[in-house]
Amino acid sequence: MDQLDLVLQTAGPLLRRVDEVISRVGAPPDHRVWAELRRVRLLPGDAVRAVAALRPAGLTEAAPELRADARACAGIAESLPDAGGWTGDAAESYESARRRTADFLSGGAESLEERLEATADLADALVEWMGQTRDETAQALAQTLGSAEALQLTDDAPVDPAAGRMQEAAAEMAASLLRSIADSYDLAADLLDGSADLATAHHQTL
């Protein structure tokens, strides 16, 4: 259990209140929360819970295993025997196949070894991103808990469509949380866009 899990236990009722206000009465027409809602396409409570579902521990073992596989590919490529004293068309055909196999396994930028290393780098980057996103979301959530707007939403009274202060408070809290989460997910999108060639290379190999 990390900081986000701990803060979320306390902030759960407040998040539900924010979601309820925005769902039922919306936000001021020109409020910045609308831009953040378009970016995330989730209410604040759902967005925070989506971040809380990120579990970097599930990927921590992936990179070492991928790098071990990459080293195995390199070792196999080096161990492929050449034709030796064998001559003739069959020897040439074998040598051509051996070189293709060795190149596929290791050495070039498109080799299996390099793709495994690149995938391991991506796994490490995603683990770091998940941890950072959880930390930043926890900080944003903790700030909203201590805000003046939170005090206006702690009442369990029914949501009043005419309560402009309540509407403004919910919008402010939602905007802050959603902006933090949206910025974090933009970083993830950049990571995945930068690794799109891995999927292309895998598809071409298959």
| CB contact set of 87 (below 8 Å; sequence gap of 6+) | none
**Residue 73 in contact with residue 101, Cβ under 8 Å?**
no
pLDDT of residue 89 exceeding 80: yes
Supply the pTM of this predicted model.
0.81
The mean pLDDT value of the chain amounts to 88
88: left (phi over 0), alpha (psi -120 to 50) or beta: left
**Residue 132 in contact with residue 191, Cβ under 8 Å?**
no
| CB contact set of 165 (below 8 Å; sequence gap of 6+) | 152
Give residue-wise pLDDT tens across range 18-27: 999 999 888 9
CA distances from 198 to 61, 99, 184 (A): 20, 23, 22
- From CA 82, how far away is CA 73, in angstroms rounded? 17
**Residue 123 in contact with residue 65, Cβ under 8 Å?**
no
- From CA 187, how far away is CA 51, in angstroms rounded? 14
What is the share, in percent, of the chain residues with pLDDT greater than 70?
Answer: 92
Q: What is the pLDDT of residue 163?
A: 63
User: Domain segments of the chain: what residues?
Assistant: 3-60+115-205, 63-105
What is the share, in percent, of the chain residues with pLDDT greater than 90?
Answer: 65
Please state the length of the chain. Answer: 206
Q: What is the pLDDT of residue 204?
A: 46
Q: What is the pLDDT of residue 203?
A: 42
Average pLDDT over residues 189-194: 87
- From CA 183, how far away is CA 152, in angstroms rounded? 27
Q: Which of 62, 172, 45, 79 is nearest to 118 (CA)?
A: 62
Question: Where do runs of H (alpha helix) occur along 26-163?
Answer: 33-40, 44-52, 62-79, 89-105, 112-145, 148-153
pLDDT of residue 60 exceeding 50: yes
- From CA 176, how far away is CA 29, in angstroms rounded? 17
